Chains A and B, each alone.
Chain A
Amino acid sequence: MKIGFIGLGVMGEPMVRHLHAAGHAVAIWARRPESAAALVAEGMQLRATPAELAARSEVVITVVTASADVEALAFGSGGLAEGFAPGSIHVDMSTIAPATARSLAARYAERGVGWVDAPVSGGGQGARDATLAIMAGTDEETLDRVRPLLEVLGQRIVHIGPPGAGQVAKACNQMILVSILQACAEAMHLAAAHGVDLAAVRQALLGGSAASRVLETMGAKMVARDFSAGVAARLHHKDFAILMDEAARLGVPLPVAGQAWQQLNALMHAGWGNDDTSSLLRVLER
């Protein structure tokens, strides 16, 4: 399949390599072309604008940071919408607001272009191992067309519902992940205050009802006091702004998520935004 790819960060770079290795005709666009040099050397074509990329692609995948980035790539000047032929599909794998995803889907539909919001969970490791969990918001027919691509990138592809639904699932994912991470930090903080061996506590808890992937991976980082990212905390902080906005809009009280959000604010204030979110432990220790 002819695939266009935008967003060559920690997540995007291994993802685009998997697609290329799977035999797809991959072209890329990058705001800073020099950042694409290695991939071009590996045989991927570089295009001058998102519009040019869209014009030669059946499907364009984007993995960027914020709602505004995706909007600009899609409908900005020289954006994807200018190049897409009817019947092509934009698969956005960034984490953005559900409302933005719904609005982009509606604008594309007017032009006969398909949309999939397909945010992921699993982090850089999941991207490298192609074991991402992918949450899709689109119609069934569109999902069927891009499913072979998603299967190259992830292990668990779940169709959540119509456009925007994938982003709702991702918001739930971030809420549960960071809330549990905050709980892990608090548990470690309590154990440390008692002078108890943190590694033994983590080990014991992994066998029981308190087991979680967060306790396993980020709990290990807390025990080792290795706060290097991982997933940079500023990204979780950004995601929380999105989901707490949605909560306010919908009138949904999220007391635990709200509390975790404030701790993320404190983490950012401490200057640890580029460190791992397991730094929530350090916020408690200050």
Chain B
Amino acid sequence: MDVGFIGLGLMGRPMALNLIQAGHRVQVWSRRRASVQPLLDAGAGDCASAAEVARRAPITISMVADAPDVEQVTLGPDGVAEGAGKGHIHIDMSTIAPAAAQSIAARLAVRGVIALDAPVSGGEPGAIAGTLTIMVGGDEAACAQVRPLFEAMGGSITRIGEAGAGQVAKACNQILTGVGVAAVAEGLVFAHKSGVDGAAVREALLGGLAWSRVLENHGRRMLARNFTPGFKAWMHQKDMRIVLDEAHRLGLALPAAAATAQLFNAMAGSGLGEDDSVAMLKLLERMSGCVGE
């Protein structure tokens, strides 16, 4: 298929490479010029703007940081909407607020563009391996039409519902992973302060009801004291802000998510924002007077 890709960062680059690998013809544009080169080397077509990407490909994908960036590349000057032909499908795979995704989809619809929100879970390793979990919101027929593209990037693809529903699922995902990281860090600090070997505790817990992918993967990195991102703490902080903004808007009580968001705030505020989320362990150690390795 002919497809355009906008936003070639930590996640976007391997995703676009996987599309090329799967035999799709990929056009690229990125705000940072330097990030384009590896894709051109792999055979992607070079475009001067998001609008040009949309002129050359009937389906476009964006993978950028936050809602204002998505608005800019889709609805802004030289954006996707300017170049889009009839029946154009735009897939935004960034993580943004569900309300923002709905609003962007509605405004794109006015300009004849069908919008899908398709945020992912699985991080950089999942993007490289092409095993991302993809949560899709938007028109069912459009979702079916672009499925081969999703299959080139992901291992598990679920259509959740209408526009914004993919972002709702992603918000749920960030509640579970955020609270999970904090819970695992609390467990390890508790074991350490009790004078017990954290590695043995993790090993035992993996066999029981407390098993989670976070305990398995993030827990391993905490024990190895490997805080290299991965998924940066400030990005998780941003995602928790989205969750709590939605909770505020909807009048929802999310006590564990709120406590976790405060911890991510403390990470960002104390210089751990550029570390991986697993540096949550360092934060709790500082709070408890533990000395890490």
Contacts and interface: CB of A to CB of B under 8 A. Distances in A.
A40 interface: no
Contacts of B123: 209
Interface stretch (A23-31, A51-59, A78-86, A167-175): A167-175
B288 A251 contact: yes
Contact of B179 (A132, A173, A256): A256
Contacts of A231: 209
Binding site secondary structure of chain A: helix
Binding site secondary structure of chain B: helix
A256 B205 CA distance: 18
Nearest to A217: B209
A215 B194 CA distance: 29
B162 to A, nearest CB: 9
Interface bracket on B:
35 or more
A255 interface: yes
A255 B257 contact: no
B256 interface: yes
B183 A176 contact: yes
B42 interface: no
Contacts of A256: 179, 182-183, 186, 256, 259-260, 263
Interface in B279-293: 284, 287-289
Contact of B161 (A123, A196, A207, A212): A196
Contact of A173 (B155, B182, B205, B247): B205
B135 A211 contact: no
Interface stretch (A108-116, A138-146, A198-206): A198-206
Given A200-B160, A204-B158, A212 B213 contact: yes
Interface of A: 98, 120-123, 126, 132-135, 154-156, 158-161, 164-165, 168-169, 171-177, 179-180, 182-184, 186-191, 193-194, 196-197, 200-201, 203-205, 207-215, 217, 231, 243, 246-247, 250-260, 262-263, 284
A247 B204 contact: no
Contacts of A209: 121-123, 126, 133, 173, 177, 213-214, 217
A260 B258 CA distance: 11
Contact of A133 (B161, B207, B250, B263): B207
Given A122-B208, A190-B172, A213-B212, A179 B256 contact: yes
- Identify the interface centre among B155, B184, B193, B211: most chain A CB within 10 Å of its CB: B211
Contacts of A213: 208-212
Contact of A180 (B172, B174, B210): B210
Interface of B: 98, 120-123, 126, 132-133, 135, 155-156, 158-161, 164-165, 168-169, 171-180, 182-184, 186-191, 193-197, 200-201, 203-215, 217, 243, 246-247, 250, 252-260, 262-263, 284, 287-289
Contacts of A250: 190, 193-194
B206 to A, nearest CB: 8
Given A172-B190, A205-B169, A252-B288, 8 more contacts: A165-B200, A169-B205, A173-B204, A214-B209, A253-B284, A256-B179, A257-B183, A259-B256
